[in-house]
């Protein structure tokens, strides 16, 4: 890690935002400038995605193993290619 | 060749099977491509509901599109294989090179080439990125129009009343769908905001 | 304290005070000859990324642009990554209340450019891009002159670019977008820029002041660098304080200095509270400011973040709710309008805070609901920064919030502009 004492003192803004919640699972992320709020992801994967009051997705990042196939289907279905899935 | 086999099998007196398959597939193709195009427009324009989500319209668009591709393949193969008209296989891919009905057949070939491009780019969508995919995909409208003109100009049944009626219905369906889409796009709110006036002086002017 | 007036153009003048390191010897001007004289007898520069990283780690040099990321880690990553590295100096500032980068580029451009050359040579970069603010035209002119003066002597070529006039223009990904020929707006990135940034190449992008600090460190050595500041946070940093004077003040301050006397020197006080960290900052009550020192760690303990060192004291008699409503209204208008939650959520939030400021609502539930809806959603931290000041306002000014919820406000009325958003 970084810092003079060999560990992050915790006040580094960037490291906090890039820490993966569960590194063992596939992660779902939204490419925000592409997302137009079509909502197909929420139709296909309601367990992990719901739509806010402006029809944009609120996404749970970690994908449980049993939902990986549906998550891939949601990624393929997005008309703007805005939903992405990353391998662990 | 195939018609000789069928004749020899004693099925019919004179059996232009390939010609019938060509005519039939052409007709069905007009219907299937119309459904594909309209479904594609609706998938983007019409919001989904609990009973009929957008994903269903999208799936219909993709599946009917692939079905159309199958019928398109049948249509092209029957044209090439049928000996009654002399169209070589490359003349079915490179437009305006056939001796038979060069212009009207050529338009159909352009339509075929565009649809091939659309299918290939759609299969590679995630690798090509959205902008390139969309640029090619928009050409499907042109492919639909060229196919319709090809059919009306060359189709054996294009002169019949029901043939014209069918073509008219399909054309109206696509025209209405596209027209509605253009209207909804024009009234959409603007996207990225332009830079404002100098924010620094704005800040100092703030209480 | 002696000071100079820095004219950045278009009504953006500031007062810059003399400082111990960065802003030393202001009276001799920003010229190259003067700068070179100060560097006579300096230590030789590190020749590799690893050597430079070790030097930076010896003082734990953090970025001065707001994220406080260790520069050493960026250097190590870029030196090892695939492709020819590139260096970007971010002086775009973005935040209108901040003037430190413009001041530094006008008064000490060669210190910043030395730092950029230092990093570029150590990691093997072949280009340095310097990005300056669009709304302060004299900065571009000054930097162009400075670059021309030293063009013959510098091994790594440098180029200058002007950012667009918007709040989010200085965000890291927005700067890289600008340099790539696209609109100067933030984008979602999948990999850190030190791995794959400009044109897919490893990119070290850092704030202008960070490069200047690195140049000081390389010139003076670790011991002299650590002779000011505290053992945990050696060295100095630049602050912008916008008090009651006719223009803001830029100060260079050693870590560990008490904040209250600095505010006084800038014609300001925190008797009515202080917005610490600029428009994306945190409200602090007077009691919290009284014993505060200029230290990133101390500010985190106080529940704030030093960010880019912008201090905005609330003038006497001004209501913090109304002031927050104006700030949020401005920030909502500065959305890039590309990401749905920001494009729709921030204006809705601005309306909700304005309703509170006008005493038109009986509950702050809608504000809380909207804040939860916009945070951590979008290509950049603009929504998160916007909610930070609102959350701290709700936390630190409970009496004022109560009063507004019951329809009154005792502070002098600050007009919330009708067409502000």
Numbered ranges of CATH 3.40.50.11540 in chain C: 3-225
Report DSSP state, residue C293: B
Pick the CATH number of C320-405 from 1.10.10.10, 1.20.1440.230, 3.40.710.10, 3.40.50.970: 1.20.1440.230
pLDDT of residue A4: 41
Show which subunits contact C, needing at least 3 CB pairs below 8 angstroms: A, B
Architecture of domain C3-225: 3-Layer(aba) Sandwich (3.40)
Residue B34 Rama label (left phi>0; alpha psi -120 to 50; beta): alpha
Q: Rounded to two decimals, what is the model's pTM?
A: 0.83
A79 near B CB under 8 A: yes
Q: Cβ–Cβ of A40/B58 closer than 8 Å?
A: yes
* pLDDT tens readout for residues B81-94: 887 888 888 888 89
Mean pLDDT, residues B109-136 taken together: 94
Helical segments of chain B, H only: 2-8, 17-45, 54-81, 102-123, 125-128, 130-137, 140-154, 161-186, 199-205
Tell how strand C3-6 and strand C14-17 pair up: antiparallel
Residue C59 Rama label (left phi>0; alpha psi -120 to 50; beta): alpha
Report DSSP state, residue B60: H
* pLDDT tens readout for residues C198-237: 999 999 999 999 999 999 999 999 999 999 999 999 999 9
pLDDT at B6 over 80: no
Write down the residue that tokens 């925190």 correspond to: C270
Confidence of residue C384 (pLDDT cuts 50, 70, 90): very high
pLDDT of residue B207: 42
A79 near C CB under 8 A: no
Q: How far apart are CA B54 and CA B49, in angstroms?
A: 7
- The answer to whether residue B4 is domain-embedded is no
The whole-angstrom distance between B83's CA and the closest CA on chain A is 43
pLDDT at C101 over 80: yes
Q: Cβ–Cβ of B207/C414 closer than 8 Å?
A: yes
Confidence of residue C334 (pLDDT cuts 50, 70, 90): very high
pLDDT of residue C127: 96
pLDDT at C106 over 60: yes
> ipTM score of the complex?
0.79
pLDDT of residue B13: 41
- The answer to whether residue B200 is domain-embedded is no
Report DSSP state, residue A65: G
**C341 closest CB neighbour out of A13, A15, A54:** A54
- Class assignment of domain A20-86? alpha beta
* pLDDT tens readout for residues B163-197: 899 999 999 999 999 998 888 878 765 544 455 55
Q: How far apart are CA C55 and CA C213, in angstroms?
A: 12
For a pLDDT cut of 70, what percent of chain C falls above it?
A: 95
Numbered ranges of CATH 1.20.1440.230 in chain C: 320-405
Domain encompassing residue B41: 17-177
pLDDT of residue C190: 83
User: Where are chain A's structural domains?
Assistant: 20-86
Q: Cβ–Cβ of B54/A80 closer than 8 Å?
A: no
Q: Cβ–Cβ of B54/A40 closer than 8 Å?
A: yes
CATH number for the domain whose boundaries are C236-313: 3.10.20.600
C345 near A CB under 8 A: yes
Numbered ranges of CATH 3.10.20.600 in chain C: 236-313
pLDDT of residue A33: 86
pLDDT at B8 over 70: no
- Whether the CB-CB separation of C268 and C391 falls below 8 Å is answered with no
Residue C237 Rama label (left phi>0; alpha psi -120 to 50; beta): beta
pLDDT at C263 over 60: yes
- The answer to whether residue B3 is domain-embedded is no
**Nearest C-alpha neighbor of C166 from the set C377, C365, C337, C320:** C337
* pLDDT tens readout for residues C238-254: 999 987 667 889 999 99
DSSP E strand boundaries for C33-141: 86-90, 127-132
* Residue-by-residue pLDDT tens, chain A, 88 positions: 343 444 444 444 444 444 445 667 889 999 998 999 999 999 999 999 999 999 999 999 899 999 999 999 999 999 999 999 988 7
C296 near A CB under 8 A: yes
Q: Domain total for chain B? A: 1
């Amino acid at each position: 890690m970084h810092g003079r004492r060999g560990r992050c003192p915790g006040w580094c803004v960037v490291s906090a935002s890039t820490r993966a919640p569960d590194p063992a699972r596939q992660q779902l992320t939204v490419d925000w400038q592409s997302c137009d709020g079509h909502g197909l992801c929420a139709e296909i994967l309601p367990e992990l995605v719901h739509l806010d009051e402006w029809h944009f997705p609120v996404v749970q990042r970690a994908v449980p193993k049993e939902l990986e196939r549906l998550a891939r289907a949601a990624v393929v279905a997005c008309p703007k290619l805005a939903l992405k899935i990353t391998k662990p | 060749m195939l018609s000789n086999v069928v004749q020899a099998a004693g099925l019919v007196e004179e059996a232009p099977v390939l010609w019938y398959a060509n005519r039939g597939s052409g007709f069905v193709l007009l219907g299937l491509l119309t459904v594909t195009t309209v479904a594609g427009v609706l998938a983007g324009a019409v919001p989904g509901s609990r009973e009929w989500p957008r994903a269903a319209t999208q799936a219909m668009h993709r599946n009917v599109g692939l079905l159309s591709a199958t019928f398109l393949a049948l249509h092209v193969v029957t044209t090439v294989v049928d000996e009654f008209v002399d169209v070589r296989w490359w003349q079915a891919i490179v437009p305006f090179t056939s001796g038979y009905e060069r212009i009207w057949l050529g338009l159909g070939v352009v339509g075929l080439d565009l649809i091939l491009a659309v299918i290939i780019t759609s299969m590679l969508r995630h690798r090509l990125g959205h902008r390139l995919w969309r640029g090619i995909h928009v050409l499907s409208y042109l492919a639909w129009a060229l196919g319709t003109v090809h059919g009306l100009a060359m189709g054996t049944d294009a002169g019949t009343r029901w043939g014209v009626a069918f073509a008219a219905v399909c054309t109206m369906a696509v025209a209405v769908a596209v027209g509605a889409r253009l209207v909804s796009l024009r009234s959409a709110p603007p996207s990225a905001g332009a830079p404002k006036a100098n924010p620094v002086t704005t800040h100092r002017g703030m209480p | 304290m002696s000071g100079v007036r820095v004219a950045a153009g278009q009504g953006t003048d500031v007062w810059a005070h003399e400082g111990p390191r960065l802003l030393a010897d202001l009276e001799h001007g920003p010229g190259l000859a003067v700068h070179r004289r100060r560097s006579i007898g300096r230590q030789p520069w590190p020749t590799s990324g690893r050597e430079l990283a070790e030097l930076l780690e010896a003082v734990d040099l953090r970025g001065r642009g707001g994220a406080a990321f260790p520069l050493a880690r960026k250097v190590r990553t870029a030196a090892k990554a695939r492709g020819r590295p590139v260096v970007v100096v971010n002086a775009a500032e973005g935040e209108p209340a901040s003037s430190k980068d413009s001041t530094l580029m006008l008064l000490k451009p060669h210190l910043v450019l030395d730092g950029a050359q230092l990093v570029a040579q150590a990691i093997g970069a072949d280009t340095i891009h310097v990005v300056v603010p669009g709304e302060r035209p004299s900065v571009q002119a000054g930097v162009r002159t400075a670059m021309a003066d030293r063009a013959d002597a510098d091994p790594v070529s440098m180029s200058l670019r002007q950012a667009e006039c918007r709040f989010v223009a200085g965000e890291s990904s927005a700067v890289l977008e600008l340099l790539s020929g696209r609109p100067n707006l933030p984008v979602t990135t999948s990999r850190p820029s030190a791995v794959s940034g400009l044109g897919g190449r490893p990119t070290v992008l850092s704030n202008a002041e960070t490069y200047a600090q690195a140049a000081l460190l390389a010139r003076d050595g670790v011991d002299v660098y650590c002779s000011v500041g505290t053992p945990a946070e050696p060295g100095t940093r630049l602050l912008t304080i916008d008090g009651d004077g006719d223009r803001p003040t830029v100060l260079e301050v050693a870590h560990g200095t008490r904040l209250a006397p600095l505010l006084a020197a800038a014609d300001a006080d925190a008797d009515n509270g202080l917005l610490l960290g600029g428009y994306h900052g945190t409200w602090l009550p007077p009691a919290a400011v009284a014993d505060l020192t200029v230290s990133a760690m101390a500010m985190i303990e106080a529940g704030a973040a030093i960010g880019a060192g912008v201090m905005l004291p609330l003038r006497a008699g001004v209501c913090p709710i109304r002031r927050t409503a104006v700030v949020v209204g401005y920030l909502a208008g500065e959305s890039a309008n590309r990401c749905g939650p920001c494009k729709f959520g921030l204006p809705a939030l601005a309306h909700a805070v304005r309703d509170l400021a006008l005493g038109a609502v009986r509950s702050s539930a809608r504000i809380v609901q909207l804040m939860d809806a916009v945070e951590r959603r979008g290509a950049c931290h603009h929504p998160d920064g916007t909610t930070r000041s609102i959350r701290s306002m709700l936390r630190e000014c409970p009496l004022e919030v109560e009063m507004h919820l019951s329809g009154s406000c005792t502070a002098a009325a600050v007009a919330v502009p009708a067409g502000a958003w």
